[in-house]
Structure 1
Amino acid sequence: MELMGEPREQSSRHPFVQHRMPPMTEAAARRALLRFMSSRCCYGSRAAGDLAIQCLRQAGTYRYRLETFSESRLSEWVFEPFTKPGAAGSPGDAPLDLWDVEVGPPPLFQGRTRRCRVPCSALVRDCHRCHGHGRSKCRVCHGAGQTRCVTCKGSRRRLKQQKRCQLCSGTGRKRCNTCSGRGSKTCVTCQGEKKLQHFKQLVVTWKNNVFEFVSEHHLNFPGELLSKVSGESIFKDENVMVYPIIDFPEPEISLASQRAIAEHNAAFATSSRILRQRQTIELIPITEVHYQYSGKPYLYYIYGLENKVYALDYPERCCCSCTVI
């Protein structure tokens, strides 16, 4: 495919070659089923060893995938205790545009979020919580520095003995443990610095947006299972912007490519920046295995390069919840 910045046509033409699926043998089909049995407690292994495979019907389907790696930016006001006088910048400095702030991106097609300060956006103000005093009234004693004695409940005498309370020396009050009797505490917002530095924080989000389409396979097989396996890569196109595929032997794939690129460009080109796009086509093998057991016909499917198994009507099972590996 073309390198970044090179001129290119308005569509992805490619001399598509007819790919043959990896051959499935009877021995490989039986091994895949036995591996399936070993991972399912409710399936018996006797049928897998005694079944008679009648035929293997190989099919396949194409999976088209478009990945659009985008970057979006927004800012939010945050603050911190102002501890470094002179660090806020000159009052005349104008804050940078969000897209002018240099932030190194992560590896391509890997989502991530980063936060950093926007240069020249800092403002120093008195703390809004303590009004610039550095301390705030204690919420326990309400600034009095004392609280009611927990032993005599403020009555100055012990309730049962009617003697002067020794804990508070008959005053009915004792020093507040929360503020150590000062009536105020160090402000938790400015941490006693009296001032806050407000600044714009840049939030950069990289996201890998994926469009996936699997062509019709005309088999009694759940299509959603194919998203969990890999296939043979037969086409890959990566650039800043990719163009729709045309002349693919399966027309559904060409139409899916056109729709995907149009949807992604409309969705992400205005609200964010598209950094890179990648489109691929994979051929996913599916084998329909017909066999007999105890004189009755059955079938199961082997799919993906991992040779996963889907067996809906396996003859030896005690429940119906384990059909896929």
Structure 2
Amino acid sequence: MAQPTPGGYPSYPQPGGHSPYPGGQGGYPYPPQTGQYPPQPGQYPAQPGYYPGNQGQYPPQGQYSQGQYPPQGPYPQGPYPPQGHYPQQGQYPPQGAYPPQGAPPQESAPPMDFLKPETAAKLEGRASPTPDEELAEEGSDPSPTAPPIDSMDKLPGYEGLDFTGGGAPPPPPAALPPPPENYGQVNVQHEVPSTERIREIVAGYVAEHCCFGKGPIEDMKIITVTPTPAMKYTLETMTETRITRWNYVPWRGETVPPPSGPPPGPWDVLITLEPSQWFQNLNSVAEVPNTQTVRVCHDCRGLRETRCTRCHGRGYTRCSSCHGRGSRTIHNDRRRCTWCHGRGSRRCITCHTEGMVPCPTCDAQGNIRCFVELTVKWQNHKDIKVVERTDLPDNLIRSVSGQEVFRAEEQRVHPIVGFPDRLVSESSSELVQKHGQQWPQERIFRQRHSVQSVPVFCVTYHYNGKQDDFFIYGNSQKIHFPDYPKQCCCVVM
């Protein structure tokens, strides 16, 4: 049987083992020049539809000039014979019918108006791809979709509910019981630091600033130390917002209890938190009882597969490199696209030419379980009010701690009354009223408030003929001394 030689030509043994071409070895001819057919007498095997002349004959000698091939395009799709249409085993197509060297034959995309029979059967009765979709670029991967809202059950208390969600206003708060006696009456005292301790605090402050001189530490005369404690009132309110919406998940055969009655309202569903979780920002999600139903998936109609949205069910997508042309122009040279090998289309990377993908809505289960989902959003709101009567900036008081002289925690707290500093009682009443009205769509879950007495001492000193003052504040005894006398690094010690 004739075997091909490198280059694509069949070998024909010659009588006597001699070659008609100069240099032939072993009875095998050299291949002819590019574009020419071997001039040996003989017959090609019959190839339907390739040569219009005598079936099975070579084309007449000299009919094609040197370097030319027979006319391209005798096949219905492209210049190459379709897969499976080559001659019988051991016979080869004439030169020029192979794809160009370096690009192995690739499976061609089906016609764009073609759907696999099994894909067409699965899509029967549903929206078909339009011609605009067929030649479109790659779409997005399939994603789950919600059932039509008109098909959902009408549940009492959840009329008009959709899949985006909405909040229901909370019920009115219950009346507060009367406050306990002596609510907010405290005794506040702070120990005044000694002169030696004040000089130690100033020395530590100077050591933190390389340009400050040390002379005033010992030379300044401390005249008075006046305690003027600041009060830091803090109110925290933890609220909850309840949002309901329809939701669905794939049904995998788990037991769904039948309804035992009407579903509870959004604010009637019991959601609990541990005390360690109080006064934090949290989210809780739960299913509303008596709202669960199982239904056939609306996307795949129980078939567990749906049309691929990346290729629109065609199995192939238009090449994004050449935009379906099969070739690209590079430096004024038209070249075959290496991304799609000249086909103009590529296999769909999502469905792998099947046109169908597992249904993402039901996760290929065929059924979904629908229910009303309740989301509880917990938020902690915090306000701080500083009561301070000196020139010390309030932000410094906020940054330090003091002695806690009052604390109370309830579902709803009362304003402080009878505090030694009247401004603290007024601040408490103002913030409690504000928190009770500021969030009408949220229900107050719990409140707590406290009062810290932050020690503040105004130190009056005399140095170098000038009298001034500075402040020592907080439990950590920080110092606020913006007008320290020796702040230049060039000071002679």
TM tier, smaller: 0.7 to 0.9
Q: Secondary structure at the match of 1:98?
A: coil
> Aligned with 2:426: secondary structure?
helix
Displacement of 1:182 after TM fit?
Answer: 0.6
Report the 3-state secondary structure (helix = DSSP H, G, I; strand = E; otherwise coil) of the residue aligned with 1:236: strand
Other-structure match for 2:220: 52
Q: CA deviation at 1:168?
A: 7.4
Shift in alpha-carbon separation, 1:315–1:154, aligned structure 2, 3 A: same
2:319, 2:185 → 1: CA distance? 88
* Contact kept? 2:220, 2:463, Cα under 8 Å: yes
Q: Which amino acid aligns with 1:252?
A: L
2:262 is matched with 94
The aligned counterpart of 2:416 is: 245
Residue 23 in structure 1 maps to residue 23 in structure 2: no
CA contact (8 A) 2:221 2:463 kept: no
Candidates 429, 440, 448, aligned match of 1:278: 448
Which residue number in structure 1 is paired with residue 405 of structure 2?
A: 234
Query: 1:124 is matched by which residue type in structure 2?
Result: V
Q: Is the 8 A contact 1:26 1:53 kept in 2?
A: no
Gaps of 5+ in 2: 1-175, 489-493
- Counterpart code for 1:198: C
Give per-residue Cα distances to partners, 1:64-106, cap 9 Å, x unaligned: 333334444332333222223543x325643232333332213
Give yes or no for the alignment of 1:146 onto 2:347. Answer: no
What pairs with 1:157-176 in structure 2 (closer than 5 Å)? 173-176=345-348
Percentage of pairs with the same residue: 30
Give the distance between the partners of 2:475 and 2:392, measured in 1 at CA.
16
The TM-score with structure 2 as length reference comes to 0.52
2:291 maps to 1:121? yes
- Structure-1 residue corresponding to 2:155: none
Alignment-derived partner of residue 204 in structure 1: 376
The change in CA–CA distance for 1:132 and 1:314 in structure 2 (over 3 A counts) is farther
Deviation at 1:305, TM superposition (A): 1.3
Contact 1:21 1:285 in 2 (8 A): yes
How many residue pairs end up in the alignment? 308
**2:430 is aligned with 1:262:** no
Instruction: Return the structure number with greater relative CO, CA threshold 8 A, min gap 6.
Output: 1
- TM, length-normalised to structure 1: 0.74
User: Which residue does the alignment assign to 2:307?
Assistant: 137
**Rg comparison, structure with higher value:** 2
Name 1:321's counterpart in structure 2. none
Determine which structure has the larger strand proportion and give its number. Answer: 1
Change (3 A) 1:313 1:121: farther
Specify whether residues 236 and 242 from structure 1 end up closer, same or farther in structure 2 by C-alpha distance, changes over 3 A only. Answer: same
Distance 1:240 1:224 in 2: 30
In 2, the alpha carbon distance for the partners of 1:164 and 1:230 equals 75
| RMSD, aligned α-carbons | 3.9
CA contact (8 A) 2:186 2:406 kept: no
Residue-by-residue CA offset, 1:182-237 (whole Å, 9 max, x unaligned): 122223333222333232222223333334332241x2221232122222222233
Given the superposition, is the C-alpha separation of residues 182 and 224 from structure 1 closer, same or farther in structure 2, using an over 3 Å criterion?
same
Unaligned runs of 5+ in 1: 1-6, 319-325
| One-letter code aligned to 2:369 | Q
Residues 74-93 of structure 1 mapped to structure 2, 5 A cutoff: 74-84=243-253, 86-87=255-256, 89-90=257-258, 93=261
